[in-house]
Homo-oligomer: A and B are copies of this chain.
Amino acid sequence: MAREPSKSNRSTAGDAAIRDDARVEHARAHCEARRLNFTPQRAAVYRTLLAFNSPVKAYDLLTRMQQDAPGMAPMTIYRALDFLIGAGLIHKIAATASFVPCAHEGAHAHGQVAFFVCQRCGAVDEVEAKDMIHALDRARPHGRGFAMQSIEVHGLCADCIAETSPAQR
């Protein structure tokens, strides 16, 4: 699943890098429009997160960034991640203590997004959740005043079900 940074497949990797660069520029504009300070450090963390192309743990991000910036400390990563979450550019997945770029580049309201998290492989699928919110509100008998910010659905993705069921027979 992980994309190797190998030198084969060069054109694909290059295309991905170009797409990531575009997303970084989009994020910069997003922050400028909100008077948020999209510093080089924050941009670098965001850029690195994009390159993984899958949910990333803070220390994996740190390890990767230390290749270019030896001595970088955990705090540096966590501060940048906090900023990016606040800006709506990334999300934290509690189930796996990992981070993913927002699939909508921050362009959704709070409480209108849901994550389907596979507990086996860690894959995350982010979907708009307006309809779900309504369904949840109706289905919930009490706790009326609860202000939803995100939903995590934990379970097994189709791929992992396919891989595990035969072994159990």
Residues of A near any B CB (own CB < 8 A): 1, 94-95, 111, 114, 116, 118-119, 125, 127, 129, 131-132, 134-136, 138-158, 161-162
Contact = CB atoms under 8 A, between A and B. Distances in A.
Given A95-B94, A151-B151, A154-B94, A138 B146 contact: no
Interface of A is mostly: mixed
Contact of A131 (B125, B138, B157): B138
A108 to B, nearest CB: 14
B155 A148 contact: yes
A71 to B, nearest CB: 29
Contacts of A119: 149
A147 B155 contact: yes
